[in-house]
Structures are given as structure tokens and as C-alpha cells.
Structure 1
Amino acid sequence: MTIRALPPALAFCLAATACERPAPEEANVVQANAMANEADNGAHAPRSILRPEVITKAEEEEIEPVHAVIGFGASSLRLDDAGRKAIDALLDTPAMKAGGAITLRGHSDSRGADGDNRVASRIRAEAVRDHLVKKGVAKDRITLVALGEARPVAPNAHEDGSDDPEGRAKNRRVEIDIAPPPDDAPPPVVPTIPKDEKSQKE
């Protein structure tokens, strides 16, 4: 039996077909990948490139500004127990712990001269500042603004012109604003309880 040589053209076609055909294992992988891609495109919405834990962490790190009002209605120029407790509660806010800038705006009622009222409003702001510093807040974070009687939140007198003690008491106040720290701010110094106070509590 004689073996005839294949024509050159036919031999080239057979060789090309053999080269292009993937091995059985490769064909299975290609088919599985194609099916997976088709299922993903039809059944799933586009996925976020961020992992869930990364998104949760970013949301937790967002710090909101804080606004609070400390009243000086009864004691006029000195902090009372309610005022001190209100300030102490601010020490646990994220903005305070993060080291944000603190602005204290002192206010007064309209009784007396404008210059005296401005001085009184500053004394109130200084009282709040001193309490914060006593609790471990850095003094250079705090800015004082003395506004006097310029921005009342209640009437200082009734419509008939008679005195309104309740309204004047509401105007004797200090407004506290704590801003979130800038993105490039250094880590804050966390207020700590002095040893003598700590031993007393224990």
C-alpha cells in the first residue's frame, strides 16, 4: 500500500485548523468564563469598587459641627451647675474630640451702657473658656467674641415699655460653636482627667 502525499494546500489548511482549535481543557475554561460573564451582565447591577467596610468607615469619620447655648440667666456673670454640666456634655462630641476650632460668642441684655454690656458679654465667654481649659481643652483652640447687646434672642422689654426679666435672662448667654477639623489637621490632644480629680472619683 502506497501513501500519497497530501496536496500542499490541503496540508496547510489542516495545520492551521489544528493550531486554532483550543485544547479540551482550555475550551472548557473559555466556555465557563463566557457563561459567567453573560450571567453577571444579565442578573447583577454594576458593583462598587469600594468594599463595604471602606464605605462604612468613611461615613463614620464624617464629623458634624456643634452649636450649643449656655445660659447666664440667674447668675449673670458666673457659670452655674447647669452651665457646667452642659459644657461637660460637649467634651464627648466628635467635633470636640477631633480638635475642631471653638468659637465662644458672649451676649448680654440691654440694661446699662453698651460698653459695659460688651464687657459683661466677654466675661461670660471667658468663664466658659476657663471651664473648657480646666477640663483639658487646649486654649489655643478657643476664640472669644464679645457681642454685648447687639444680638438678642428675646425682647428685653414688653410692648408697653416695662421691663421683661425673662427676656433679658435669655439674652445673657454664651453661644458655643465647634467646627470640624480641617482635613490636614494634626491629631488632637485628648483631654485627660488630672490625677487629683481621678483619685477623688475612685
Structure 2
Amino acid sequence: MPHALRAVVLAVTAGLALTACGALGSDEAPDRAATAPATPGGATPSPSGPEPTECPHGQLIKAVEIPAVHADPVHIPEATIGGEKVPAVTIPGVDIPAQRVPAQCVEEKPAPGACLGAVAVPGTSIPGTAIPGVRIPGVQAGGASAAPVEEPAKSQKAIDQSAVSVAEVCQSKPSEEGQYVASVYRPSVYRPSLYRPSLYRPSLYRPRACNDQGECVPPVNVPSVTVPSVSVPSVSVPSASLKSYVAGPGQVIKGDDQIAYNIEADVLFDFGKADIKPAAAKSLAELAESIRKEVPSGAPIQVDGHTDAKGDPASNKALSERRAQAIVDWLATKGGLDRARLKATGYGETKPAAPNTRPDGSDDPRARAKNRRVVISAARS
């Protein structure tokens, strides 16, 4: 393998503990270094607005329909016993409206090449419900007596499940040799199932009431009412990983559905410049050949430029954009790839592969060199 190609390394280089992508830097100005801020984690709230019917960046969590519950009213007609009237009574029915656990989207955010994007499963809730209480009045008339019968209201509180998420991951533990990061790993994301038990109000029965003359008031029965249980299935996004190996243009990072190549910027460009060095042509030609073998014809190809943290952030971003565009232009004009497939993005210093400074705060030129890079990535399916 040519020496220049050995500079092609993982998009996440060696010497780093497991982190999520944070801020990066550039090599445009030599007077400032910055450490990478931690990427915030935590749960992602459920999206507001209309319910989704499809999710362009993740799986659709289907809605759960909770049917309405209806029970007819019970009418107790007027009666006469022992010459006394017992007035008619209507015991109200039950009407519990239908409820719905809305559809949601699992959000899998796009990520730079050789990174695994953040995943967020929104929180959800099964709403509460209640069955009203009921009472059959008693009878005290014409020598007949029957005690009232009643059943209190029943209720279930809302059942909530919190959002769960995992941050974007761009690097993992280095290999034993300390030269390359062996893999990029994003753990699975799991939101447990949710369950609201059934709710039950028993039937009520008032027996008939008779006097000594054998006159009776008929019995009354109010049927039971049941609100069925509700289950919201669990949601799982499996873990994902990208493995590295040496092939074609050098160090490659590859997963089931994507492949990425990282080229250190110092191999391609002079310090602070965006003109490709003539010596880099052979490396780029082999890279283009590997892309033709590994990537389906017509699949989009992303070219991401990165810098270290030296200099002004705006200047770093502009430099990273120019470098990414220079690689796009080379691959389109000399590498034999269709320009329509190629897209350039500059991240400047916002996605470091390594801290720009040592633990004591001093400048770390070797680490900054790893941050000055261009990552070419594409989907494999």
C-alpha cells in the first residue's frame, strides 16, 4: 500500500475514550486551541402538532385505539304498594368516550460520515379513565322496606412512560496498537411497554320488597361495567456498530448499511489551504475505485470536511467547506464519479475526533492533526 494511503484512517482516530461527537477545530490559524464540549444527552420530548402517518428519519410507532364504553340507563317504573306510590327513577347509564394513544416517530438523526446518528424515542402516555358511581334508591312505603344499594366510582390514573435516547456516537476505544479506533458502537434504545389494567364496576342488585299483604315492589338490577385493559407495545431500536479494517485505500470503517473513509487533511492539503496536493492523486484514485466496488451505483456520496480548533470558528467552517468541495470536484472530474451523487458539507471545528488539548490544557498538535480530516461516506444498501 502506498505510504500516502496509510494516512487514510478511521473517521474516529486513536487515543480516545468512548465519546459522542462534539465540537471540532481547524488548522487555518495557529493561535488558539479549544477542547471539545460534551454532547448533551437526555430524553427527547414527544413532537407536537399533527399525528405522523410516516416517519422519514425513523420507524413509525402506531397509534393505539381505546374503544368507547357504553351502558344503558336503567329505568325503575313507578309502583304503588299499600296505597302509597313509589316514584319512578332512572339510574343514569355510562358513556366513556373513546381514547387514543397518538402515533409517534422514532427519530434517527443523520450523522456525519463514520458516525452513528442520535436516536430518540419520545415519551408516551395512556390517559386515565373513570366509571361513575351508581346508586339504587331504597324503598320505604306501604309497609315494604328495601335498603338502598350503591357502588362508588372507579378510576385509573394516567400511565406515563418517559422518553429514551442515545447521543450521536463517532468514536470508541482505540485498538491495542493505539493507532486506530477499532469500532464505533451505539447501544440499543428501548422504551418499555405500557399497560393500564382493566377497570370494573360490579353489578348492583336490590331485591324485591313486599308488605304483609303480599304486595311487592319488583327487584332492580344494574349490570356491571368494564373498561378493557390497554397495552402500548414496547419500542426498540437495535444497537449498531461500524467495524474497521484495512483494504483498498487504507483504513475503512464499515457497517451493514454504510461505509466511510477518512483521509487526514495534511495528506491532501497544505496547512490552511484547500488546494489538493498533486501527491494525493493516487490515494484519491484508489478511494474512487473502492467506492465503485463498495457502493451501489447511483447511491449518494457524502463528503464531510473537518478542522481542528485553531483559529476563528467561522473561518474554520469556511475552510472545511472549501476542502470538502475540492474533494467533490476531484472525484467528479478525475475520479469518474457522477457529480450529482456527491454532496459537500463543512463542519469546521464542531465534530472533533480527538481533544485538541492535553488534560493539562496545553496544545496537542498530534490530536489536532487527527481532527483535520475529510470523511467520504455512502450507504451500502
TM-score class, shorter: 0.5 to 0.7
2:262 to 69, 75, 82: 69
Amino acid at match of 2:330: H
Deviation at 1:101, TM superposition (A): 0.9
> Paired residue for 1:158, among 342, 350, 358?
358
Q: Distance in 2 between matches of 1:158 and 1:170?
A: 14
Corresponding residue of 2:177: none
> Higher helix proportion, which one?
1
Q: Distance in 2 between matches of 1:106 and 1:154?
A: 15
What does 1:21-100 align with in structure 2 at a 5 Å threshold? 65-73=258-266, 75-76=270-271, 77=273, 78-80=275-277, 83-93=280-290, 94-96=293-295, 98-100=297-299
In structure 2, the partner of 1:188 is: none
- Where does residue 367 of structure 2 map in the other structure? 167
Relative to 1, partners in 2 of residues 1:170 and 1:81: Cα closer, same or farther, differing over 3 Å? Answer: farther
Tell me the CA shift for residue 169 of structure 1.
1.1
What is residue 307 of structure 2 aligned with on the other side?
108
- One-letter amino acid of the counterpart of residue 149, structure 1: E
RMSD of aligned alpha carbons: 2.3
Q: CA deviation at 1:118?
A: 0.5
Query: Using the alignment, how far apart are the partners of 1:142 and 1:65 within structure 2?
Result: 15
Q: Which runs of 5+ in 2 are unaligned?
A: 1-255
Q: Share of identical aligned residues, percent?
A: 34
Q: Distance in 2 between matches of 1:142 and 1:148?
A: 19
Contact 1:73 1:170 in 2 (8 A): no
Q: CA deviation at 1:87?
A: 2.2
What does residue 121 of structure 1 align with?
320
SS of residue matched to 2:289: coil
Q: Is the 8 A contact 1:91 1:97 kept in 2?
A: no
**Amino acid in structure 1 at the alignment position of 2:345:** V
| Counterpart secondary structure, 2:308 | coil
Question: Aligned pairs, how many?
Answer: 119
2:278, 2:378 → 1: CA distance?
A: 21
The answer on whether the counterparts of 1:103 and 1:176 sit within 8 Å (CA) in structure 2 is yes
Distance 1:175 1:164 in 2: 21
Tell whether the 8 Å contact from 1:95 to 1:178 is kept in structure 2 after alignment: no
Give me the TM-score of the superposition, normalised by structure 1.
0.52
Higher strand fraction: Structure 1 or Structure 2? 2
| Larger CA Rg, structure 1 vs 2 | 1
Cα distance change of structure 1 residues 102 and 139 upon mapping to structure 2, 3 Å threshold: same
